[in-house]
Amino acid sequence: MCGILAVLGCSDDSQAKRVRVLELSRRLKHRGPDWSGIYQSGDAYLAHQRLAIIDPASGDQPLFNEDKSIVVTVNGEIYNHEELRKRLKNHKFRTGSDCDVIAHLYEEYGEDFVDMLDGIFSFVLLDTRDNSFMAARDAIGVTSLYIGWGLDGSVWISSELKGLHDECEHFEAFPPGHLYSSKSRGFKQWYNPPWYNEAVPSTPYDPLSLRLAFENAVIKRLLTDVPFGVLLSGGLDSSLVAAITSRHLAGTKAAKQWGAQLHSFCVGLQGSPDLKAAREVADYLGTVHHEFHFTVQDGIDAIEDVIYHVETYDVTTIRASTPMFLMSRKIKSLGVKMVLSGEGSDEIFGGYLYFHKAPNKQEFHHETCRKIKALHKYDCLRANKATSAWGLEARVPFLDKEFINTAMSIDPHWKMIKPEEGRIEKWVLRRAFEDDDRPYLPKHILYRQKEQFSDGVGYSWIDGLKDHASQHVTDKMMVNAAHIFPHNTPTSKEGYYYRMIFERLFPQNSARLTVPGGASVACSTEKAAEWDSNWSKNLDPSGRAALGVHLSSYDAKLPPKNPIDDMPLLMAVNPIHT
């Protein structure tokens, strides 16, 4: 991931202001250690810190159209850039960068081109012909982006809070799936697929369509000119990503450059569940596997750095970000610059264990919609910033636009968790990748139940964090917590400890407002308690709070035989294949 910073419509075009913009842009250098650039036109500054993934030799930014009247600074990957170049036959491209199409698309179509982009992105575009500008963020918010406003009327846009929080009177997260235009001085939603209004879909479940959609999502993310690998925890989602990548790697440009054997990476405390599961999957797939071990003390020592980079005080996000932050540094030290990861599956398919309590398909679907819309505040934020802290890019095929449309069109009846029928969480995804002739994964791995990431790296990790926090936060401090932190008051010593660090690093009121409200697990806990009153007794947000639905109730067995298993895969459920 790259780092972008734009200052637009400021009242100062002096050399001192340019120096200040450069200074703030350097705060984002961890995101793009390969090169930096800045463009100034009157009262506008566009700065860029580059992580070179496509066309490392000539793709430096900012990027321009033919006569340099349109300037753009981009953080992201445009997977369909070659197709878009073919549409732009009358345009001349200066570089081979995937992001080079953006300025030309604007020149051809105006502000309405954003939905043509297939990828993950945040960008700011300046049209020097009329001094107008626009900014946009990808559909789900895989890339991070913030917008702020200065007292002098300026608009600031940055990949991270640290690029603008010292200069803006007010700032906030840039909403995913939106663009901001100086012409309207406001936001416009460009991403509005059928599932977004939460109407309950009725498309029959077609295992083959789902399989092909996900394979395509993974394959398009193998576009790279640098060494890459996969994050492999041994759970369903990362294992499927690794299996598909391993299967399709041989014929790619990347394989010719860096070798056809996939590299996989896992992190955990010594003896953790993830390390064991990931090793089993890696052995099955034949990947070059790298295990990284950390201690509880290693993680605790990194907490302040994690909060600085991830820019949150959310408890679950910090718990999961810390191992990922430590692993990313190790991965980058091996010369790898891009990894594929499994975020998003649990939100799309209702993979969190409290979905067992969903009373009907309508409730189930509405909750998946809500979870996907909130991803940019949690898992996307973690995956993007914990890796970008070390100049590593994370790509997330489950959040591919086309795949989401396919998966969210399935009648949620088929996503419902019904153990008596052999349907555990994410059954539709597991079933789609059953292939007796050429297995993607062994069945016991395909049907392995979910571990919360912060638990999977080692159960003593969370206990160690709680013990450490209790040594630094007293009972008396908790009594007065509501007076010290009236907004999003911490409900645990662990939450109080993270909040103290965050407030020291980002003391502005706008900063604390960018973090989701209430206890870190509030929304999910409230929904789970609504579905089952017993859930309200569990205050801890880890997967251990999953009452009666974890392995103890499944007894770690494969699901019982289901009638659908007797149907050929191509004929299963969907009558159009009969």
Q: Is 339 helix (H, G, I), strand (E, B) or coil?
A: strand
Report which of 41, 37, 48, 38 is spatially closest to residue 8, judged by C-alpha positions: 41
Which alpha helices (H) appear in 148-272, and where do they start and end?
207-220, 236-248, 253-258
- Options 2, 10, 99, 369, the catalytic residue: 2
Which alpha helices (H) appear in 295-435, and where do they start and end?
296-310, 315-333, 345-349, 361-373, 379-388, 401-407, 427-432
Report which of 327, 135, 142, 138 is spatially closest to residue 229, judged by C-alpha positions: 327
* Token pair listed for 242: 């690794």
Q: Is the dihedral of CA 264, 400, 455, 452 positive or negative?
A: negative
Q: Is the dihedral of CA 407, 412, 415, 421 positive or negative?
A: negative
Distance CA 521, CA 518 (A): 8
Largest CA distance in the chain: 73
Q: Any residues with CB less than 8 A from the CB of 344 and at least 6 apart, and which?
A: 140, 372, 375, 379, 380, 396, 398, 399
The CB density around residue 555, as the number of other CB atoms within 10 Å, is 6
The DSSP-derived string for 28-93 is TGGG--SEEEEEEETTEEEEEEE---S-TTT--SSEE-TTS-EEEEEEEEETTHHHHHHH-TT---
Distance CA 267, CA 269 (A): 7
The CB density around residue 256, as the number of other CB atoms within 10 Å, is 10
The H-or-E segment that residue 134 falls in is strand 132-137
Distance CA 204, CA 413 (A): 9
168 as an active site residue: the answer is no
- Would you call the peptide bond into 412 cis, given omega within 30 degrees of 0 as the criterion? no
Distance CA 354, CA 567 (A): 30
Q: Which residue has the tokens 């969907």?
A: 574
Whether 82 contacts 220, CB under 8 Å = no
* Token pair listed for 177: 């799936």
CA angle 145, 332, 158 (to 5 degrees): 15
Name the region of 486 (left: φ>0; alpha: ψ -120 to 50; beta: rest): alpha
Distance CA 248, CA 261 (A): 11
Report which of 6, 71, 103, 74 is spatially closest to residue 45, judged by C-alpha positions: 6
Q: Any residues with CB less than 8 A from the CB of 235 and at least 6 apart, and which?
A: 274, 277, 342, 448, 450, 451, 456
Name the region of 555 (left: φ>0; alpha: ψ -120 to 50; beta: rest): left
Name the residues annotated as catalytic.
2
